[in-house]
Chains A and B, each alone.
Chain A
Amino acid sequence: MISRRDFLKMAAAAAGAAALPAAFARGAESDRPNIVIFLCDAFSARHASLYGYPRRTTPFLDQFAEKATVYHNHYSGSNYTTTGTASMLTGMLPWKHRAINYGGLVAREFAHDNPFTLLGSAYERLAFAQNPWPERLMGQYSGDVDRFLSYYSYSLLHAGPAQNLFQNDFAVASVALDDFSMAAQHGAYPGSSIFDYLFKSAVLSAPDDRRAIRYRAGFPEIMDPGYYVPYLNEEVYDGVFNEITDLQAGGKPYFAYFHLYSPHFPYRPRNDYRQRFNGDGYVPVVKPVHPLAGGDGLSQDYLNGQHDLYDRQISQIDDEFGFLLSRLESSGALDNTYFIFTSDHGELFERGFVGHGFQFLYEPVVKIPLIIRAPGQTRRVDVDAPTSNTDILPTLLSIANKEIPAELDGLVLPELGGTADPDRAIFSMVAVDNSSFGPLYKAVVSMRKGIYKIIGYFGYDLEDEFELFHLDDDPEELNSLVKKSPDVFSLMKDELLAGLNESNKPFLR
């Protein structure tokens, strides 16, 4: 039976579609294709049925992929938002762009390397990051964004953040106000006392409303950096549709970047998803606790519980994505649009650890989905060659016929103008404990090359500084081959260290 909400959505979609043809006709006059990046934060490719996950978590993504290019070995430059997103937006590896600390910023000399600035004013440019950290990254060039939505947009809170007053100095104001003055929620001492108290009282009291009945375990919330901002995916996805509709109506080619928070922790699927996958017999592989997980790590029961919740959250957003896609398709909004579905990093439920960040670079936390539908694409294309999210920016520039700056590390993606290189070295790294102004002494760096992956732990007190895995034979990364395959290890290690040393050179002068 059709629910009231679905009926209203379909009615709105029909009304929107009826009102749009004239606007789309104007949009079609331009030769330049529109570009939409649709990014779901913390979405691990390893949890998507599209990529072979046993649970059917993403039927609508599977459907979308039927007329799109699917990249099967796509890696984030890092394992958490700031660094991973900065890699995608700058087309550079973290050891170059230097947004390596939680909530950090891209080095000033590379801040202009971003899609908004490089695509230029020929495009109408929209940025909406529900996560304040990527919002801050884009705040470094907010002058090049035509419509810059705050992370509060489409949330259950109607109060705008204070830094809306400071659009010309967005990035710095965001750190000063979000991270410092009003950031008591993470156990840190807030810089402001009275304002923080008033803000906290207002923010935390706000979300009690009738919609709570559909979320018995609480609303999903944006948790970084200062306060937990509740939101509903239904309303956020409606907002995305409305924004794209408005851009279409504008008649100008557009570039839109949507960085949506779900399925990021805390995993709070709606009630009707909370039993999904119960009793389906799927049991995650149990892996030994990593020495950096801290003590005995989290219990396997807890890990499995969070794992299930995460899958349910993904399942819900897949449904929302499916509904959004059907509306966009029926309205014609995708006819002249490159639509890119991806993430900034994955999520981990193993080795005594839940979440992302910290010092882990195993596949579930760095392997992310990348599905790109080109205008008029009618069949599925699968790309197995490893790719990096640093490839997104050069690919966008290639699509838009713009010059690709020489300093970018990324390459144009295969099937979109680039060539597949199965032996290309793909790096990911996390260096939150390292200064962004110095050489990387304390960092974890991984390199995938061909079927092998090496992980190096630098500056950590570990018995084994390196791990080496054969990803075809050992996709769960359980058996390190450091001692068993010394030749491969030596080659991989040398290349990894060469990359690291090269990146450190500018800081050693």
Chain B
Amino acid sequence: MSAAVFHNEMRLMLRAPTLTAAVLLFVVLAAAAGFAGGERVRAAGRAADAALQAEAQAFARYRGQAEAARRDGVVRQDADGVWRLAPGQAFGDAYEGADAGSIGLRRLSRTAVLKPEPLAAFSLGVADLRPQALAVSARPAHQVFQAPPEIDNPAAQGVGPFDLTFVFIFFLPLLVLALAYDLLARDRESGVEALSLAQGVRRRDYVAAKLAARAVWTAAATAVAGLGALIAAGAAASGAAWAALAAWTGVALAYGGFWLALALGANLIFRNASAAAAALAGAWLVLIAVAPPTVRVVSETLYPPPSRLALTAAVRAASADAEREAAAALNAFLFDHPDQARTADKGDFYLMRMARESAVERAVAPAFAAFDAARARRRALAQRLMWLSPALPAQEAFDRIAGTDPGRHDAFLSGARREHAAWRGWFEDRIVAGAALTPEDYDTLARR
């Protein structure tokens, strides 16, 4: 590489006001996106905190009722040490906290929160499309895991997010192309290239120096933009955040490197700068504006997205069949209004309800499994097709670094499902045994 050519290129670029303005604009956009992302993450954090606070209040309230039930003799310990409803007593509203059925199946839940990664503000990913917090209760899985996502404006979601991923994917290539569209062609047209080579500079070194100067500018703009976004997002400057920022910058550099290589290719193919510029602009349009939605069309045509409408009907049919038998045995009204049911033993009621819900859960499971399998097949195809545009793997990588990719959410759901199974099993044991909840049970639940 020729140091003289490199230094000369750096000086020329520093003196070009349009390039400086382009870099500044890129950094400003990145900072604005970082700020907007930070606001989203803080809003999600506030929502999760509110849910956790409500959960803590519910725990405290029902624990107090369980304590009162024991103190007032509403529950008594039997010979096996199990606390049960005392003869002639009823839980009612005042002692509901001791009623395992009511608490497990109606009142209490544990909030599972998908904790944001340090750079969550950088990429929205699927964070606005899937719930980031789930109320895990002892109710059946098909009710717990079908919670809708956070309230948002679907019109805004349709337009797309203004996040750092958008800024990098759409505008970093433009910045690179502004820096490099005339990498060789301009000097070739003006005769500077011939002059430089006549002075003994090898062509390979000459090209490498010009390329390196632009790579340095790209790297500097990328690093400053990332850092600016991190500061604007108000993200905590932890070791994990720096590591994630390094990974982010690495992906951004690889992505920028692709466009730099494309610019070099165009300059080697086309003789003049304007032809190279036109070809590169066309490449940007095809690879960024046209290819991703086209790939989506192709993947949806080959593997149509599984129908949630059909799933709705299938789940309803399966649950109707499962309920029919239970409904024949027990008045359906009582299922929904235990407080109005004139039955002396509500324990039986919740036992029946749990049995019915378990039957429904089993009946609808195949419909959900088929839906998930169809979704996984489509995602696998999308993963293969994403290499048709550099924007798609870049988006995927940015989402993963930010922790907002579908894979991480799926892992969160898997964890929540395990938690749900354990939680449901815990309540099931008590409901089946007819055991009342004690303050110690609440302490155990709180520690889980």
A and B found bound together: no
Residue positions of A touching B, CB distance < 8 A: none
Residue positions of B touching A, CB distance < 8 A: none
